[in-house]
Structure 1
Amino acid sequence: MVATLSLGFTLHASMAQSIGNPPAAEEGLWLAQDHDGVFQIGHCGDTLCGRLIGMQYDGPVPKDVWGRSQCGLVMLTDFRLIRDENVWRGHILDPETGRTYDARIHAESSEVLKLRGFILGIPLFGKTQTWTRYHGTIGPACKLP
């Protein structure tokens, strides 16, 4: 699960900020902890979602378990703000197995995002990654330089 958590194409129309939803600190481009993937996180209606838009790879673009390109794949879904905890809670997809896990994200600062993926709805049974704001470029076919 760790490798797939670290696995982002251009902001899709469905991710565009909805009218009335102010920007969240968690929105934008984020480089995964292992520096092997970039995600675009943005509003999808009243939730946040994230798609893989850049990744490190050799050869053809990596495919998910169903044979679809991982380039542009929406992997973070249905993140809703839990106001009393100041975190967003939703789901993260492991594209290699097709399994979906519970997850939490929150911006620790304008340059640091914490993502915790977990099972059984219990954050104790999970792992936290530190993602950093991405300011670089992304080549054709989601290729990171």
Structure 2
Amino acid sequence: MIAALLPAPLLVPLLSGVLLAAAAPAVADPHAAILGTWHNPKNSVAVKTGRCGDKLCGWVIRATEKAKADVTSKGYPPLLGTALLRDYRATGTSRWSGQIYVPDMGRAFGSTVTMVDADTLNVKGCLIGGFICKSQIWRRD
């Protein structure tokens, strides 16, 4: 039907554009590289990252007995299932910003996560508008 309405010189570029658009890859998922299970430097906690709406979150899926006891002895909720990484959004190539929850303090802080390589994250949390910060290197399980 369209071919009957358009002259041949216009039809070829139009069809080529439609075919190219159909073959183009979908927009890349900004969280794909970071999805998986990660553990902290002491291997006392493992966090599984995943999508939470259009953002990235990470939940505790494994913890040592000592780590669990440290949190419950201070009156905070059980460690397993707790979202440590909250509402992170991509802020650059291999970089996300959000809130990190520190279970034994019962507080969340501003944070950035940067992928150093495919199996290494630099997780940084800051107090007082970024003046006091602490970083940890997390490894992929």
TM-score normalised to structure 2 length: 0.69
Quick one: structure 1 residues 46 and 21, their matched pair in 2 at CA, closer, same or farther if it must change by over 3 Å?
Answer: farther
Deviation at 1:66, TM superposition (A): 5.1
1:72-114, Cα deviation, whole Å (9 max, x unpaired): 111210101112x641000011122211111111211111111
| 1:42 correspondence with 2:50 | yes
Matches within 5 A, 1:1-145: 22=29, 23-57=31-65, 63=72, 67-83=76-92, 86-122=94-130, 124-134=131-141
CA RMSD of aligned residues (A): 2.3
Maintained 8 Å contact 1:64/1:70: no
Relative to its length, the structure with more helix (as a share) is 2
1:121 is displaced (CA, Å) by 2.9
Q: Percent sequence identity over matched residues?
A: 26
Letter paired with 1:130: I
Q: Which stretch has the larger CA shift, 62-71 or 42-51?
A: 62-71
- Structure 1 segments (4+ residues) deviating >6 Å: none
Amino acid at match of 1:133: R
Please, which runs of 5 or more residues in structure 2 have no aligned partner?
Answer: 1-26
Tell me by how many angstroms 1:24 deviates. Answer: 2.3
8 A contact 2:55–2:87 mirrored in 1 = yes
Maintained 8 Å contact 2:76/2:106: no
Cα displacement (A) at 1:63: 2.8
Q: Which one has the largest radius of gyration? A: 2
- Which of structures 1 and 2 has the larger relative contact order (alpha carbons within 8 angstroms, sep 6+)? 1
Gaps of 5+ in 1: 1-19, 135-145
Q: Deviations over 1:26-78 (max 9, x none)?
A: 111001111111000111111100001111115x7653855422111112101
Q: What CA distance in whole angstroms lies between the structure 2 residues aligned with 1:26 and 1:95?
A: 22
CA distance, structure 2, for counterparts of residue 47 and residue 53 of structure 1 = 19
Task: Report the Cα distance in structure 1 between the residues aligned to 2:73 and 2:56, rounded to whole angstroms.
Answer: 22
Residues paired across the two proteins, number: 112
Structure with higher strand content? 2
